[in-house]
Structures are given as structure tokens and as C-alpha cells.
Amino acid sequence: MPPDPADPTPARVVVLAGPSGVGKSRLSAQTGLPVLRLDDFYRSGDDPALPRIEHGANAGLVDWDDPGSWHHDEAVRAICELAGTGRTRAPIYDIARNGPSGSRDVELGGARLFVAEGIFAHEVVTACRDAGVLAAALCLSQHPLVTFWRRLTRDLREHRKPPLVLVRRGWALMRDQRRVIADAQALGCEVMSVAEAQKRIRTLADAP
């Protein structure tokens, strides 16, 4: 969808939210659209502003599932810059190192639609709508046990954290999945399956 040079309308973003492990990154890649990975905007592991888990077996560890562990304003700025100019520079986050390992240029290449996906993607919906760049806000949903297994196998394969931490975190996330989806819905996301979201994004991408 190459833009008309005389048309000042910015590109628009599909915000893709959902629980960790539900398939956001996979679906984003399958769309063939430019993708901004919002999880790359996590804070560094030594950032004193990071929230901590206060109770349970992982008490004292960084709570990476709290929005406070993430740079909301920087993510919104990158989305708006990408929509308005067709390019932005985004960090590359290395989970194993708990911090950024460089940066990368994200460019639309003339596309009028792109995807912004991540565990905290629903947190940017209001700002994107207010900025006039929101095409749709979608939250993926599937059975919690399926999400748990896919997340665990992915995290073990990528050596994201020690296995025991991953199992405990995964179990806690599985129990919390309904709340995560409800929060996303409350912030303006439409809840749907991966197949439904894929169809919806395809329709948006094919629109004139």
C-alpha cells in the first residue's frame, strides 16, 4: 500500500496484545507487515525503578509482568514517529542479559499499516487512539493450558531464565491470564482468536 505523496495522512497501527506465549510475535510475522516489537522497550535489569514481586516463591525478584518494568512513553513515541514519518529507531532487548544490546531501524517502506505487538501493548491503545494513528486494537486469546505450554517451551528453548523460575512464573501467568485479557479489553482491545485476528488484519491491510 504505497502512500500518495500528496496525502499527509500517517500510517496506522494494529496494536496486538495478549498474554505472554499466546502467539503475538508469530502472528505478527505471518502478516507480512512491518512490526514494532514493544517488548524491546523493557527497562534494563539494573534500573532502580523496576518493580519487585512482593509475595510468593519469587518474592524479591523483578516483576517483569508489571507495566512499570517497561518504558511506556518511549514505546508510544516510537509508534507515533513510525506512523508519521515511516521510520523510527528502536532498542533491541536481550532477555538473557536483562537489558538492551543495541538498536535497530524500523521502516515502513511505503506501507500504510504496521503492527505493534507486546505483552504491554494494550497500555498504548488510548495514546494511539488520541494521536489518530490507531487502526485496530486486538487481544489474542486461547486456552490457558495451551498458552502455558507454548510459553514454557519457548522460554526454555531460548534460555530466558532458570527453569524453576520459568515454571513458577508460567504457572502464575496461567492463573492470571483471564485478568490480563480483561484488562486489555477494558483498555479498548477486541478479544479474539489468532485465526480471527489474522483475518481482521488481512482485511485492514487490503483496504484501499
Q: Please indicate, yes or no, if residue 61 is contained in any of the structural domains.
A: yes
Cell reading at 62: 523483578
- Where does residue 157 rank: exposed (0-12), middle (13-18), buried (19+ CB within 10 A)? exposed
Q: Of 73, 75, 68, give the one whose Cα is nearest residue 117.
A: 75
| Neighbour tally for 150: CB within 10 Å | 17
Q: Please indicate, yes or no, if residue 5 is contained in any of the structural domains.
A: no
Q: Please indicate, yes or no, if residue 65 is contained in any of the structural domains.
A: yes
Q: Of 106, 140, 123, 122, give the one whose Cα is nearest residue 11.
A: 106
Q: Please indicate, yes or no, if residue 3 is contained in any of the structural domains.
A: no
Q: Of 35, 13, 37, give the one whose Cα is nearest residue 127.
A: 13
Task: Indicate the residue type of 21.
Answer: G
Q: Are 1 and 110 in contact (CB under 8 A)?
A: yes
Q: Which domain holds residue 172?
A: 12-206
87: left (phi over 0), alpha (psi -120 to 50) or beta: beta
Q: Taking the model in full, what pTM does it have?
A: 0.79
List the chain pLDDT tens, one digit each, 208 residues: 333 444 455 899 999 999 877 889 889 999 999 999 999 998 887 888 877 877 776 677 777 778 888 999 999 999 999 999 999 999 998 877 777 888 999 999 999 999 999 999 999 999 999 999 999 999 998 766 666 667 667 766 666 667 766 666 656 665 667 788 888 999 999 999 999 999 999 999 998 7
- Sort strands 87-94 and 99-107 into parallel, antiparallel or unpaired: antiparallel
Q: Please indicate, yes or no, if residue 1 is contained in any of the structural domains.
A: no
- Where does residue 203 rank: exposed (0-12), middle (13-18), buried (19+ CB within 10 A)? exposed
The pLDDT, as a whole number, for residue 159 is 65
CATH number at residue 148: 3.40.50.300
Q: Please indicate, yes or no, if residue 199 is contained in any of the structural domains.
A: yes
CA distance linking residue 110 with residue 115, whole number of Å: 14
- Where does residue 130 rank: exposed (0-12), middle (13-18), buried (19+ CB within 10 A)? exposed
Residue with cell 523493557: 42
- Where does residue 4 rank: exposed (0-12), middle (13-18), buried (19+ CB within 10 A)? exposed
Q: Please indicate, yes or no, if residue 129 is contained in any of the structural domains.
A: yes
| Neighbour tally for 60: CB within 10 Å | 8
Cell reading at 128: 494511539
Q: Please indicate, yes or no, if residue 156 is contained in any of the structural domains.
A: yes
Cell reading at 186: 477494558
The pLDDT, as a whole number, for residue 145 is 60
How many folded domains does the chain comprise? 1
